[in-house]
Amino acid sequence: MKRIVVMLIGMCVIAGVPWCGSADAKDMKIGYVDVFKVFNEYEKTKEYDAVLEKKKEEKEAQLQEKKEKIEQMQNKLSMMKEKEQGTQREKIAEAVKEFKSIERESFIDLKKTRDERMKEIVEDIDKVVEEFAQEEGYDLIVNGNAVLYGSGNLDITDQILKKVNQRYGR
């Protein structure tokens, strides 16, 4: 919401709407940032991705182990007497239910962790952009993905990326 308001005010100022302020657009210092590039090249993102990938692989290994046990139980089924097969089918059904539960919980857990970390990373980037704007005297910085045209000298993506990685390295 904050971004939308800032963007609307910036557009009003650029368009010269009187109630938005008296600054001429040529007097404003404006920049844009490719947030996706900063997000993807941020060292914290890379580290978090590696941690999540490892966690995902561990969960997949656990699921594979359960799946193999179920397959072994199914293979033994044909060699059993009819009376024993009923008990074995119940055990297989319970194992399949447990497998699906673990699979669902793993997916939800990974998604929750990923969402929390993405939010943290976006907050880091937003904070650096805001501080950079104040330090460098910018009146408006917009997301480069929303810019239809922008002169290359307005692109401050690399500066933001450098700052965000420096801050993370502390």
Three-state secondary structure call for residue 68: helix
Parts of the chain with a pLDDT under 50: 1-2, 5-6, 13, 17-19, 22
pTM of the model: 0.71
Structural domain for 55, as ranges = 2-169
The residue assigned the tokens 């990373």 is 121
CA distances from 164 to 56, 116, 122, 145, 157 (A): 27, 18, 11, 19, 11
Percent of the chain with pLDDT over 90: 67
CA distances from 106 to 37, 48, 71 (A): 29, 17, 21
What are 23-60's pLDDT values in tens digits? 566 789 999 999 999 999 999 999 999 999 999 999 99
Phi-psi region at 21: left, alpha or beta (left = phi > 0; alpha = psi -120 to 50): left
Q: How many domains does the chain have?
A: 1
- Asked whether the beta carbons of 44 and 119 are under 8 A apart, the reply is no
Q: Tell me, what DSSP letter sits at residue 155?
A: B
| Domain containing residue 101: CATH number | 3.30.910.20
